[in-house]
Every structure is written in C-alpha cells, then in structure tokens.
Amino acid sequence: MKKVLVSFSLAAAALALGCEPEARSIEPGQSPVSGPIALTDDDALIVVASEDHDEVLVVDRATHEVQQRIAVGDAPGHLLVTGRQAIVTSRYGHTVTVVDIDRGTVVRTIAVGAEPMGLVQIEAGVVAVVLAGDHAVAVVDVSAGRVLRTIALEGSDPRAVALLDDGSLYVAHLSDGTFSRVDLEAGTARTVDVTTANGSGPRLIPEHLRSLTVDPDFGTVLVAHSQANADTVRAPIGGDAPPVDDGFVDDGACGYSGCPTQLGAVVPGVTEVDPTDDLVIVPQSAQSDFLVGGGCVNCDVAAPEPGFGLGTAAAPPSVLNPFESRFSGLQLSNPVALALFDGGRGQLVVNMSTKNALLLRRHLKGTASDVIGVARLGNGASGVAISHSGDSAFVWNQFDGSISHIDLPTVADRSSATRFAQDGSDSSREVAIATDDAEFGLVAEVAASSFVIVEDAFDVDASLGRKMFHDATDVRISQNGTVSCASCHPDGRSDGRTWQFTFGPRNTPQLGGDILDTAPFHWPGDVPTVAALNDMTVKPFMGGEGMSAAEFEPISAFLGTIRQAPSKADAAGTLTAIELRGKAVFESEATGCTGCHSGAHFTDNLAHDIGSQASTLDIARFQTPVLHGLARSAPYFHDGKYRSLEDMVASSVRTDRMGKGSHLSDDDVSALVAYLKTL
C-alpha cells in the first residue's frame, strides 16, 4: 500500500511543478491478464478469439492479413499467448484448447467445466481457469491435458482471474460486484468487497466485472467496469419521484440516464485493489473548490445549471460520470477492459456501448487534467492488448469483426485545450485559466484506425439488432449516451440488480433462451411485443426518441439469438442422482411446480398472485418467469427479495405460497434446489 501512495505523491508533485518524468516503455502484464485479443512476444502477430466464428484468428500486424483460422470449441472467449501457442477457453464448448499459432493446428482440447472464461498461467504448462457456470476456478495442466482440481467460489458468474505476487488468485465476478481471493495451496476461497466508498453521494454497487489487469510495479489489480446506482427511484422521465436525500438539488425523475444533479443508473468506473490488505484504493479529488465551468467537488451546495460544471452528486474521481466537466460532454458507457500504457502512467478504458477508448492519467484527481484523450472504436469493443513496444493498443471489435489500432501517446507529451496554472496560495491547488468556455469543451482525439479481419457471422437483422442492443449513442434509444439495453442485461442476461420505481421494486430478468416465445414481457405482463418496449421502457426510462415497430425488428431478431447461460449439467451432459431426484420432485403433482412452470421455457406466460406483493402501492399479480439460467440470475422474485434459491424454496415453496412444498423433507428440498440449478 505504501508503494502506491508514494507513487501518487510523486505524480502529484511532478504535476504541481509543471513537469513529468520521462516516458517509459510498456512493461509485461499491463494488458488485461486474458481476453479475446493478445499479441505474440515479438509483436508481429495479433491473436484473436472470435466467439462468433468458433475460431482463433492469427493476424499479421503489419499487413492485417489473417494467416491462420483455427477451429476450436463453441464460443471462444478468452485466450493467453505463451510462446508460439495460444491457450483458449470456449464458453459453450466447456473446454480449454491449446493451439499452435504458426502451424494453425489444435494441440489438445481439455474438458474443464461449465462456461470457462478468463484464465491465467500459474506456472509453465499450468493455468487457472474460471468456470462461470460452475461458480468455481479450475487448475488445469494443459501440458498433460487434465484438470488437477476445482475450487468452489462463493460468488456467482466468475469472469476473470489474476495471479498475485503471493501465489494466490483474484477472481472477478460479473454481477456480484466482488472479487474472490483464492488460496491455491489450501484450495479455499473468500469474498473480497470491491465497493468504492462514496461518503458524499449515493451508494455505488460494482458490477459488470469482466477483465483484470495487474500493475507489475505496485502489485495492484485494476478493473474497468460499471457502477450501479440502484437505490435512486427511477420514475418515468419527467414524472413524480420522491426527493433524493443526497444534499443536491433534485431535478425530478430522470429515468436510467440520471439528471445532471444525480448519478445515472449505471455509471462507468475504474477500481484498483491492493492485495496486501484487499482494500480498494480510492483516489482523492484535488483540493479545488471550482473546476472548469464552475462545477463543485465535495461541496454541500446545489450544482449549477445542466451543462455546466460537474453537475452531479459528488463521487470519487474513479467514478467516470459523463456529466462531469472533465469529460467535456464525452459519451461513456459500459467499460469492459482496461490497460496501462506509458510505463503505467496512463490507463486506457475500453467502452463497448459508446464505441470509444478513454485515455486517462494513471492517478485520477477529478479535474480536467485526468483526461488525455479519446479514441474511436468499432462496434462490440470487447478486449484490448498493448504491444510490448508500448506504442500501440489493439482493440477487438467483435460485432464488426474488426481490430482498432490506437497510437498511444506518452503522458508527458499530452496536449489539451484545457490549461491550468498555479494558485500561489496553495501549491497543490489548480485553478482554471480564464478563457472562452468553448476552449474547455475540447477533449483531444487520439489517432486510431480500424481494419476488418473476418466477415460477420450473424444475419443482417440480428447483426444490426446486436449493435443497437449494446449502443448507448443511438438517440432513438438513449437520451444522452449513458445507458444501453446491455447496461442492465450484460450478455443478454441479468445484472442481478433490483431497481426502485414509484410503482415498486423490479428485479432485472434474464433474456436468454428463446425469450421471444414467452410474451407478454415484464413482471406485470404489460408488454405484449418487443416493439411495445418503445413506450414502456425506451422513451419513459431511457429517454430515447423512440422507434417504430419496424425499427424494433432487428432487436427482436437479436433477442432470438441469445443463448441461455449454461449450467454444470450442460457441461456434464447428464444429471446426477440428486439432480434427478429433484427433477422428480419438481414434476410431481404433489408439489405442483409445473402447474405454472411448464413447457420448454418453464412458464405458462400468465400472471399469478402468490402473495409476493411488496407493498399495497404495487400490483399483486406477476408473470411466471422463465427458469433458464436460474442459478445465474439471483436475486429472485419481482422484488429481488430472495438472495438464493435455497431462501426462495424455504420461504415460498415449503410454505405452500408457491406450489405445495410443506410435505417435502430436507433431502427433497436439497434435491429440488440442485435440480433448479441445472435449468
């Protein structure tokens, strides 16, 4: 921890003196530990895991030509390059595959468990792989082709893993907003809270944790992700909402995007964790009262009019709220990866839903000097790799089948239209030089270009729909570039949040597994078609201008392609004895589960009153939810009242409020829960 604080002090001192250390080249480990894109050690080849094509693509960096297309398992998502081999995980193939990059051949394939995602090399020939569907991490000997052991995790949906200096692991969980600290020697894991403390604003809930980057200088671990602000009431835009007691003026209900005086529902952020004590390092705002445009930091006063200053409840500088003046109107949404550059003095944040990469100084202060520039990306930006020479970043744009090449600047060479001068009364204070307001509205654009390496695997409508689903910049869908459909439905699944509305709490449902067959939609069943979301969600809550039914067709086409989250049973290909017993309990007339949860999607598409009404202000009848990916979609019920399936069965099934389970033995209940986790 001391080393990190010293680094921060040195950087701050250098800025105060108007100079910076000489630029350093990149060092190993400053790209994400694993992801869909990597480079060979000589920087000559770019290696991509193309999930849409079930292939590993080997691309010549100089010519942009694809040299090898190597067929691997179903939906490869993460890879590591070690020497002239790549180790690849296949999400729906439930395998790890070793490929020879030069020969374009498969060396071996290893079955590892349900939905393997991120991986890290522990030692030569041995990797740790997170299993999203098993809620576990597997240690795999890729040289011998066997799983050495599997360690269970408390959190659900693990996505990324990093090796720490002491030989333990950090594992990031997509929706739980937590890390797991894994002791490989003991085979145990414990939960690490990575919530950013926000004493002067609303509670922030970390989510969408997809990748991890290790700072080799300080041993800290960084993640770019979303922060949910789920406590604020998200009434329809312009509607009535209870006042928000955060010390700031409430502009009224502003839906998911948020008002200039309140954080949006989902806000980008970067989090750094010190493994020494498992604590989040929260950067402190610069000691300045007013920034460009008059915005106030850590002040108990009303924010200025929209469009000026921070215009938001106070938050630490690591919360990348696009309303803040330091971003000068940039659109920022859905960060998915982070890399360090210029020897760790800069950080690059890849934002999928705004199709850009934000280049920031390593140590944030909440001022305009944080921002180095922005680079344009393609659709579906999902991973980044930094060249070993340190001069380039390469981003894989999955939806376009393209790679974006960013020419990385040195932090010392940064130029900006925003200038700062010393305030003689306080050497650590920065004050904006008086100038035209327009001069402060510029953020430098960093040179970037894109090249296509593979054709689109989706049909025209589904391809367009996928881009629209993830796009926060489409004014028909999003008010100000802050939210997209994917903000609450990562991978078309659930964010695990229960959102507050004037009519009552609503838990985000998952969308995978032929959801189009289960109309009407939403918990009340008030959305008869996908196109009806225009008037029920897009316009009143996302603030979009709206679309016609025909314009909604591509989104419908894409929703039809979203696969359900796989379970342990999917990887195993069969049910265990206890799961078969639970299936019998589920299907028995005595229990009556199939009275409502019937058919291919386990729903009768009807609304029922099972005593789940959260308050007298809310409705009493709710749609029977589908059960696809049930183990991955906690919490449960429309109001998210049950944190686990065990709690839900104990409180609703065994009490005969839902089905008839009062006659079930403890063993029957355990079997039923085991079966539900296979759906």
Domain ranges (residues) in the chain: 31-192, 460-559, 574-676
Cα(659)–Cα(288) distance, integer angstroms: 60
Residue reference for tokens 């990597």: 38
Q: 574-676 is classed in which CATH architecture? A: Orthogonal Bundle (1.10)
Cα(462)–Cα(158) distance, integer angstroms: 27
For the domain 460-559, what is the CATH code? 1.10.760.10
pLDDT along the chain (679 residues), means of 10: 30 35 50 96 96 98 97 96 96 97 97 97 96 96 97 94 96 94 97 88 89 92 94 78 48 70 87 96 67 33 31 74 86 96 93 97 90 95 94 96 94 44 30 31 85 96 96 91 92 90 89 88 89 91 92 95 90 92 94 91 89 84 89 90 92 92 93 92
Cα(528)–Cα(522) distance, integer angstroms: 9
The tokens describing 397, both together, are 């744009």
Cα(293)–Cα(310) distance, integer angstroms: 8
Same fold, 31-192 and 460-559: no
pLDDT of residue 8: 30
Say if residues 554 and 468 touch (Cβ distance below 8 Å).
yes
Overall CATH class of domain 31-192: mainly beta
Reduced to 3 states (helix: H, G, I; strand: E, B; else coil), residue 369 is helix
Provide Rg for the chain, Cα atoms.
25
Is-cis flag, bond preceding 635, omega within 30? Answer: yes
| 240, burial (CB in 10 Å: exposed 0-12, middle 13-18, buried 19+) | exposed
pLDDT of residue 567: 85
Cα(251)–Cα(257) distance, integer angstroms: 13
Cα(173)–Cα(157) distance, integer angstroms: 5
Beta 346-351 vs 335-341: how paired, if at all?
A: antiparallel
pTM more than 0.85: yes
Nearest residue to 206 via CA among 154, 149, 269, 248: 269
Could you count the other beta carbons within 10 Å of the beta carbon of residue 149?
11
pLDDT of residue 243: 53
